[in-house]
Structures are given as structure tokens and as C-alpha cells.
DNA sequence: ATTTTATATCGTAATATTGCAATATTAAAT
DNA sequence: ATTTAATATTGCAATATTACGATATAAAAT
């Protein structure tokens, strides 16, 4: 064993988990925060911002892209990355439900 | 290598990543959704709700607890679990910032 | 006292993730 | 045409996660 039993869960559960998993690494949070700070597409700068080697950063960017959290456009020999709102729509509606549930909860 | 280089990132980045990581598995999303559905502390029922063996569920519950996402109270020979709002406060403020940034973004 | 019930822990196999050096790719600059 | 710059891919070692059988623990029920 060792592999997640994806097939036992709903599409929605898997989708939320996939996005959350992609956010589950500090380097990837740092990338997102950097994209927010500069507030526009970033061409080139990301590797220099992070305390990790270039292949490692490239790998983290790929994971964020696969999860739909960022999108990249080729621009000459650089690539422009920015945040993709679609993933956050999914998460926001999940968190909205949680917040609502908690606020009216009679529990603990 | 293989271990996350936690020490290279800020406490805030690590904290957000830790919570997101704990949400990064469909079984743990399923647990949270179940806790939301019943909308009160659950004593006992969780194992039967999930398509996983009891030790596996126990392990997932432990991870959610370590991340501060759920809390558990001993109640006789059962344990009552419910959602702990504190973790979601952290995430909500992170997502609020993202949503704000995206909405005013001039990018892509 | 013994059995049942609910949950946790241990041990371990299978798989996934993290990180990086080496190398490849591809476009811009010279 | 060659070099430089930016990024991706490959290969691999170290570590972490996932899953579960076996076993432990501890309270409730008998």
C-alpha cells in the first residue's frame, strides 16, 4: 500500500484535497505570496526569491500549475506566472460552508 | 534529501502549509464534511463512515488533530470529535488576501 | 471477572514527495 | 553561428505518507 485510495472518495473530495495538497508546502505558499505581492505576472524572478535550487522551484511551480492554482504563459525565453482564480473559487466555497457550520454549531 | 526545508520559510508560511497539507487528502476532507453534516460532536461513528480500515482512519484523525483542524474530547470509551475553528481562521485570512489580490489584478 | 466496544499504537510494505546535480531545451543577445 | 539566459526534465538519494494487520489500552456492559 501507500497510494491514496482516490477511487473511494467523491470527485469533489478529491478535487478539494488536490488543491489543498498543492498548497501544503511552504515553498509553494511563498510562491503564491510573492505573486500576490508583485500583483502581476512574473517573468523570471521566482527562482531568485526562493531559498531552493532552480530545479526544485521548477518542480513546485509545476505542481501549482497542475493543481490549477497558477497559470503560466510563455513570453520569449521566460515564462510569466500568475495566480489562477479558478482553484480558489473551489476552496472558497468549501471554506464558506465550514465557516457557516462552525458559527451555528452547538458543539464542544 | 526528501525532507521539507521548513527552516527556510517564515512561521506564517509554514503554518498555512501545515494546515493545507492536513487538508490534502480526500479521506480527511470526507471526515470534515461528515463533521459538518452532523453538525455536532461525533462519538464513534467516523470509522463506519469511511472506506478505510480503523487504524487508517485513526491516523487521519490524528493528523487533523495535530494540525488543529479538529479537536477531540474523551467521553467514556468513545471520543467526540468536532471541527476546531482556529485553523480555519488562519486559512480564511490567507484566502481573503488572495481573493482581494485577484479581484484587483491587472494580470493575464 | 470477563467480554465487548471504541480507539490508539506499532511495525512494516508500498508508494509519494522533496531536493538537487547534471543535462536538455529554447529563445534572445552577441 | 555561438554564447548566454531562463526554464524544464531526468535520475536518484533521502525522507514522508498511506494503508493495514496485529496488538494494546481502557471504559462499558454483561
Q: CATH number of the domain at A33, please.
A: 1.10.10.10
Question: Are β-strands A78-83 and B70-75 bridged in parallel, bridged antiparallel, or unpaired?
Answer: unpaired
Where does chain B show beta strands of DSSP type E? 42-43, 70-75, 78-83
Confirm whether B16 is domain-assigned: yes
Q: What is the pLDDT of residue B39?
A: 67
- Which strand C nucleotides have any atom less than 7 A from protein CB atoms? 5-11, 13-22, 26-28
A105 has pLDDT over 70: no
Confirm whether A48 is domain-assigned: yes
Kindly report which listed range (A23-32, A48-57, B41-50) carries the lowest average pLDDT score.
B41-50
Could you tell me the distance in Å between the CA of residue B86 and the C1' of nucleotide C11?
A: 34
Q: What is the number of domains present in chain A?
A: 1
Q: State the distance between the two ends of chain A, measured CA to CA, in whole angstroms.
A: 35
Confirm whether A6 is domain-assigned: no
pLDDT in tens, B54-101: 999 999 999 999 999 998 876 666 778 888 887 888 888 888 888 777
Rounded Cα distance between B89 and A98, Å, is 11
Rounded Cα distance between A9 and B50, Å, is 9
Rounded Cα distance between A5 and A1, Å, is 9
Full residue range of the structural domain in which residue A85 is found: 12-101
Q: What is the pLDDT of residue B108?
A: 60
**Amino acid whose CA is nearest the C1' of C13:** A1
Q: What is the pLDDT of residue A68?
A: 93
Chain B: nearest CA to A87, how far in angstroms? 11
Rounded Cα distance between B68 and A66, Å, is 27
Cβ within 8 Å, pair A85-B102: yes
The percentage of residues in chain A with a pLDDT greater than 90, rounded to a whole number, is 48
A7 has pLDDT over 70: yes
The residues in B 36-75 lying below 8 A from A, measured between CB atoms, are 36, 39-41, 51-52, 71, 73
pLDDT in tens, B11-49: 999 999 999 999 999 999 999 999 888 866 777 788 999
CB A21 within 8 A of CB B17: no
Strand ordering across the sheet containing B70-75 = B42-43, B78-83, B70-75
Q: What is the pLDDT of residue B107?
A: 62
Cβ within 8 Å, pair B26-A33: no
Kind and range of the H or E run holding A48: helix A46-49
Question: Are β-strands A42-43 and B42-43 bridged in parallel, bridged antiparallel, or unpaired?
Answer: unpaired
Give B55 or B102, the one with higher predicted confidence.
Answer: B55
Chain A residue with the nearest C-alpha to that of B69: A98
Longest dimension (CA), chain B: 57
- Whether B25 sits with its Cβ under 7 A from any strand D atom: the answer reads yes
Confirm whether A5 is domain-assigned: no
Rounded Cα distance between A16 and B24, Å, is 8
Q: How much is the pTM? A: 0.90
Cβ within 8 Å, pair A95-B95: yes
Confirm whether B32 is domain-assigned: yes
Confirm whether A106 is domain-assigned: no
Confirm whether B3 is domain-assigned: no
Q: What is the pLDDT of residue B30?
A: 96
Confirm whether A42 is domain-assigned: yes
Amino acid at each position: 500500500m501507500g497510494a491514496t485510495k482516490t477511487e473511494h472518495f467523491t470527485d469533489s473530495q478529491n478535487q478539494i484535497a488536490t488543491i489543498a495538497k498543492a498548497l501544503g508546502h511552504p515553498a509553494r505558499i511563498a510562491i503564491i505570496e510573492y505573486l500576490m505581492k508583485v500583483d502581476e505576472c512574473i517573468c523570471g524572478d521566482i527562482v531568485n526569491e526562493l531559498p531552493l535550487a532552480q530545479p526544485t522551484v521548477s518542480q513546485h511551480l509545476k505542481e501549482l500549475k497542475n493543481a490549477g492554482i497558477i497559470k503560466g504563459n510563455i513570453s520569449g525565453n521566460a515564462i510569466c506566472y500568475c495566480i489562477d482564480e479558478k482553484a480558489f473559487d473551489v476552496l472558497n466555497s468549501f471554506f464558506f460552508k465550514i465557516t457557516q457550520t462552525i458559527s451555528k454549531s452547538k458543539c464542544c
